[in-house]
Structure 1
């Protein structure tokens, strides 16, 4: 899927919601995901069991199993849903996150959006046990390609592999958890420090 950036391509990741899904099945899926998100927001990810989600959504437990197969499937679907939203926003949404804004503005907007998503879903992401393998997931690869495109437009290159990882690292769940609960920062301060790091990096490139 092209994002209109000089012929570069970002793989579009779609949520687990196949075309042709019946209206009632789609409605149940949205209902169950919303119920799971409410449980996480109020009680944490550990509270998200198939029984608890069914009760919160007001449906039978069998409906949850038919829709997601397992608790792991439910958690993955919840993350897929939120990830697809941020991807749609940076590919097709309004500026500055979406196309049209200068690349630095877009990169900073992406960082803010990614940090918010990480903070909002921190329990799930930590429970998912983020390892090096998650970097090979289509979602992570699409995000990395987006960052790579913006860095290229900012004049960095040609090999950006380490820089792409470095720019995203403070926005990952384990880093955010450490900064919040060990260092004692709040989300706003993390974002401000990340933005200062990126703008300093870009300014240094402009001075070369």
Structure 2
């Protein structure tokens, strides 16, 4: 079912305001009341659409990751299904590094809000499943589940902030690629 035009407009406004408030005031000051007021919608609209701060952060992360998802599902190399698994792995990790660098405040808020069930978050599960598939194809004897969690752990918000402050995106991309290569190609 297609989203109504006013609902889509409200969703975009709510997500935009949430991102702005995360950057200017941080996650601790962000309430659904403040988001609703800043977006020019009723509090009930925010609650019905997102349910909670956790739901709001999950939706914002999914929205920011939509381009990566589209690339993984049907895009060209290096993300798309036609590329070799090693190219897909490194392309995917590069995209996650770019996403993390641009959205570190969101990732920190998401981690805090989803701390109790981080591994159940739909976006995390999608990323994890993709990595499990790639790692399994590249190194069938590896514990692909664990390797996937380890690779995703490299995008912890505080770690990303630290690495970005001392080397920027180039260092983050290189470090994550090096980690992936050592985990996937290391002899048993």
TM-score with structure 2 setting the length: 0.77
Aligned mates of 2:152, 2:42 — CA distance in 1: 40
Which secondary structure does the structure 2 equivalent of 1:171 belong to? coil
Q: Find the counterpart in structure 1 of residue 118 from structure 2.
A: 134
Deviation at 1:89, TM superposition (A): 2.2
1:132 and 1:180 map into 2 onto residues whose CA distance is 27
Q: Confirm or deny: 8 A CA contact 1:112 1:191 kept in the other structure.
A: yes
Structure with the largest fraction of helix: 2
Q: In the alignment, does 2:138 pair up with 1:151? A: no
**Partner of 1:33 in structure 2?**
15
1:94-114 superposed Cα distances (whole Å, 9 cap, x missing partner):
221121112111111111111
Maintained 8 Å contact 2:23/2:105? no
8 A contact 1:107–1:147 mirrored in 2 = yes
Deviation at 1:46, TM superposition (A): 4.7
Deviation (angstroms), 1:123:
1.9
Per the normalisation by structure 1, the TM-score is 0.71
User: Mind listing any 5+ residue stretches in structure 2 that lack a counterpart?
Assistant: none
Give yes or no for contact 2:57–2:109 (8 Å, CA) kept in 1: no
Q: Compute the displacement of 1:83 (Å).
A: 3.5
* Unmatched runs of 5 consecutive residues or more in structure 1: 1-18
Instruction: Give 1 or 2 for the bigger CA radius of gyration.
Output: 1
37-46 vs 75-84, greater mean Cα deviation: 37-46
Number of corresponding residues:
186
* CA drift at 1:57: 3.5
Q: Deviations over 1:106-160 (max 9, x none)?
A: 1111111112222322223323325362113332222112111111222332532
Q: Deviations over 1:38-73 (max 9, x none)?
A: 343455445644454445444455544454344444
Q: Summarize the alignment of residues 1-150 of structure 1 with structure 2, pairs less than 5 Å apart.
A: 19-41=1-23, 43-46=25-28, 48-50=30-32, 52-54=34-36, 56-59=38-41, 63-128=45-110, 129=112, 131=115, 133-150=117-134
The question of whether the paired residues in 2 share the 8 Å contact of 1:111 and 1:171 is answered with: no
Q: CA RMSD in A?
A: 3.0
Partners of 2:149 and 2:10 in 1: how far apart?
A: 37
Cα distance, 1:132–1:73 mapped onto 2, change above 3 Å: closer
CA contact (8 A) 1:169 1:175 kept: no
Match of 1:15 in 2: none
Q: Which deviates more from structure 2 when the two are superposed, residues 66-75 or residues 77-86?
A: 66-75
**Over 6 Å off, 4+ runs:** none
